[in-house]
Chain A
Amino acid sequence: MRYAMAIDTLKCVGCGDCVVACQTENNVPHGYCRDWIVENVNGTYPSLDLEFRSERCNHCDNAPCVRCCPTGASHIEKGGIVVVTHDECIGCGACIQSCPYDARYQHPDGYVDKCTFCMHRVEKGQNPACVDVCPTECLHFGDLDDPNSKVSLALKNRTHKVLAPEAGTKPQLYFLT
């Protein structure tokens, strides 16, 4: 089993619903966020290229944050989900330094926090909160090993890219282009 997410950059309008849904679902403290939206503008008027990306932890296959964690608080759960065990985390900041996507932050309570692909929901067979709330249905979540999962089907028919593949982290967020 390998959970992954495909984000349709052509459908995303940058409304920010995924961000708010995550903050509500996961009780993210005020001023912090586990997912965010990047608007990327390229080119010169009138030939401009616009890309919206809903970004979050990439749940990398070769996760540098897990590698450098001195206590094992950062670890990989079933399905490749990268998770931090709060009461094993000492808040040293090594994982934050090691993440090329700046997906982690220090929670005001001290431990390091980040997107969990809403593991508590996924375990029950539900989608992550951001996926369910998206009004354009541009987020596709599922198991890459299952050829009929939403994410597999989305990747099958579209060109896609990952962010900073040169970092060697084997990220599992796929951006449909």
Chain B
Amino acid sequence: MKEELFVSGRNIPNIDPYLNIWHWEIPLYLFLGGLAAGLIFFAAYFVVRGKEKEMPATVKWAPMIAPIALIVGLSALFLDLSHKLYFWQLYTTIRFSSPMSWGAWTLLLITPLSMIWVASYMRDMFPKWDWKFKFLYKFEAWVISVRKPFAWVMMILALILGVYTGILLSAFNARPLWNTSILGPLFLVSGFSTGLAAAIWMSKDKNERKVLSRIDLIFIGVELFLIIHLFMGFMAGTAVATEAAALFLGGQFTISFWVFVVLLGLIFPATLETIELWGYHVPKWMPPALILFGGLMFRFVMVEAGQITRFLY
């Protein structure tokens, strides 16, 4: 028998009997941050490649979601803080050892820049759009003149943002489920895949959808590959790692992860996209909606399950 009791009594809110400090705000933000990173990355990528005309939805229309997603995500982050009035303390210092610190700074840069990106295409998308002030027209002309370097900056920032959503979790050594370096790439790939899904959903051009679907299939493939590696790592790991994996292999998150995230959120939409590429008709909304749902689910499962895992002593 092995029994451990708090004889002094201990029932601290959100800590006992198991940790539950982060609720819906964090996974929602991780999802929206990844989505925005994906949207921005591919918009910038096709500008760098000089394919603005062939990919109008990816470059111009879909990025409109990015600033909205970022603002909603940031609001969720703000709601999560328990000492809200002091949030500005984030911007009094840069602490490189804290992913949350450089993530906050990245968000401070990428959010306004994503708005400028959308603004620079406003008159392309809505020919009747009027900026009202002369200096805004001047600013617009300047942004358009530096569009390529701007796109490069956005690509790099989107990469940082995408990786950050994973590294935020993997930096916590006390939570064995998160404390694996594969989480950074995994969240990046998953975020980019949701960004692609959103662009596919918004695109009306057949060829554009084809190009995006092909890229998305590669990303889903890599994501599945990384998930397999994640679990191989856990299974070959120490007691805390195998215990963390057990939550997904017969434990309470088995169905929510393997059925909703992997099957419905990755394998099924990938199959539909493949069928569509072969030329069969698939409802347009279905693969992207499933991918977005899977991405959201993935983050909820990871955040909730990770908090339960801990060192055993």
Instruction: Tell me which residues across on chain A come within 8 A of B24, comparing CB atoms.
Output: none
Instruction: Tell me which residues across on chain B come within 8 A of A52, comparing CB atoms.
Output: 7
Quick check: which of B92-100, B131-139, B180-188, B225-233 contacts chain A, the rest being far away?
B92-100
A70 lies within 8 A of B173 (CB): no
Instruction: Tell me which residues across on chain B come within 8 A of A98, comparing CB atoms.
Output: 171-174
Closest to A86 in B: B83
A38 lies within 8 A of B12 (CB): no
In whole Å, how far is B313's beta carbon from the nearest beta carbon of chain A?
Answer: 4
Q: Determine if A137 is an interface residue (Cβ-Cβ < 8 Å).
A: no
Quick check: which of A1-9, A105-113, A116-124 contacts chain B, the rest being far away?
A105-113
Assuming the A-B contacts A105-B12, A106-B82, A110-B82, are A42 and B172 also in contact, with contact meaning beta carbons closer than 8 angstroms in the complex? Answer: no
B81 lies within 8 A of A90 (CB): yes
A100 lies within 8 A of B4 (CB): no
Q: Determine if A176 is an interface residue (Cβ-Cβ < 8 Å).
A: no
In whole Å, how far is B293's beta carbon from the nearest beta carbon of chain A?
Answer: 26
Q: Determine if A167 is an interface residue (Cβ-Cβ < 8 Å).
A: yes
Instruction: Tell me which residues across on chain B come within 8 A of A89, comparing CB atoms.
Output: 83, 86, 89
A97 lies within 8 A of B21 (CB): yes
Q: Size range of the interface on A?
A: 35 or more
A163 lies within 8 A of B313 (CB): yes
A110 lies within 8 A of B83 (CB): yes
B174 lies within 8 A of A36 (CB): no
Assuming the A-B contacts A96-B15, A110-B82, are A68 and B104 also in contact, with contact meaning beta carbons closer than 8 angstroms in the complex? Answer: no
B83 lies within 8 A of A168 (CB): no
A100 lies within 8 A of B7 (CB): no
B80 lies within 8 A of A64 (CB): no
Instruction: Tell me which residues across on chain B come within 8 A of A68, comparing CB atoms.
Output: 97-100, 171-172
Closest to B102 in A: A70
Q: Report which of A67, A72, A97 forms a contact with B19, defined as CB distance below 8 A.
A: A97
Closest to B5 in A: A39
Closest to B238 in A: A166
A71 lies within 8 A of B92 (CB): yes
A40 lies within 8 A of B98 (CB): no
B100 lies within 8 A of A94 (CB): yes
Interface centre among A31, A100, A109 (most CB of B within 10 A): A100
Restricting to B82-122, which residues have a CB under 8 Å from any CB of A?
82-84, 86-87, 89-90, 92-93, 95, 97-101, 104
B100 lies within 8 A of A92 (CB): yes
A37 lies within 8 A of B6 (CB): yes
In whole Å, how far is A127's beta carbon from the nearest beta carbon of chain B?
Answer: 19
What 0/1 pattern do residues 253 to 284 of B give for CB contact below 8 A with A?
00000000000000000000000000000000
In whole Å, how far is B305's beta carbon from the nearest beta carbon of chain A?
Answer: 13
A16 to B7, CA, bound (A): 8
A70 lies within 8 A of B313 (CB): no
A87 to B19, CA, bound (A): 24
What 0/1 pattern do residues 29 to 62 of A give for CB contact below 8 A with B?
0011101111111111000100010000000000
A64 lies within 8 A of B172 (CB): yes
Instruction: Tell me which residues across on chain B come within 8 A of A69, comparing CB atoms.
Output: 95, 98
Instruction: Tell me which residues across on chain A come within 8 A of B174, comparing CB atoms.
Output: 64, 97-100, 167
Q: Determine if A146 is an interface residue (Cβ-Cβ < 8 Å).
A: no
Instruction: Tell me which residues across on chain B come within 8 A of A115, comparing CB atoms.
Output: none
A105 lies within 8 A of B172 (CB): no
B175 lies within 8 A of A93 (CB): no
A166 to B80, CA, bound (A): 31
The 3 tightest CB contacts between A and B, nearest first, are: A91-B82, A91-B83, A110-B83
Which B positions have Cβ atoms within 8 angstroms of A? 1-16, 19, 21-22, 80-84, 86-87, 89-90, 92-93, 95, 97-101, 104, 171-175, 238, 307, 310-311, 313
Which A positions have Cβ atoms within 8 angstroms of B? 14, 16, 19, 31-33, 35-44, 48, 52, 64, 67-73, 87-94, 96-100, 102, 105-106, 109-112, 163-164, 166-169
